[in-house]
Amino acid sequence: MKPSRVKMTQGSHQGDDKGTGSGTIVAPKTKTVTKRPSLYRVLLLNDDYTPMEFVVHVLERFFQKGREEATQIMLHVHHHGVGECGVFTYEIAETKVTQVMDFARKHQHPLQCVMEKK
């Protein structure tokens, strides 16, 4: 980083401004580096009690999946035990997990939804 200097006025000396405010001022240029937020995978876990149609409905409602894609994800969860619904920032992933879990409990299904850092 190269500091920029403010030009001194005539008759003033560095550090000797005598209250006139005309001394040399060094203003470093800083560059802000922003870091991308961490991403989290939202996953559905298979169980033997939640109806497949309910899982499809959850995927359509909370993850904006079309019927075909929701069905494919549901079948993946059914055959492999776990399936990814989407990848989000922490706050959004946490909200989606809570929404799914609350919705499942409200409808008396043991569906589990979790998040993990990608």
Q: Which domains does the chain have, with CATH numbers?
A: 39-117 (3.30.1390.10)
Quickly state the pLDDT bin for 97 (edges 50, 70, 90): very high
Cβ proximity of 56 and 71 under 8 Å: yes
Quote the pLDDT of residue 8: 47
- Which letter, b or e, does each residue of 69-81 get, where b requires 16 or more Cβ atoms within 10 Å of its Cβ? ebbebbeebeeee
**Arithmetic mean of pLDDT, 76-85:** 98
- pLDDT tens digits for 23-68? 778 878 888 889 999 999 999 999 999 999 999 999 999 999 999 9
* Structure confidence at residue 37 (pLDDT): 94
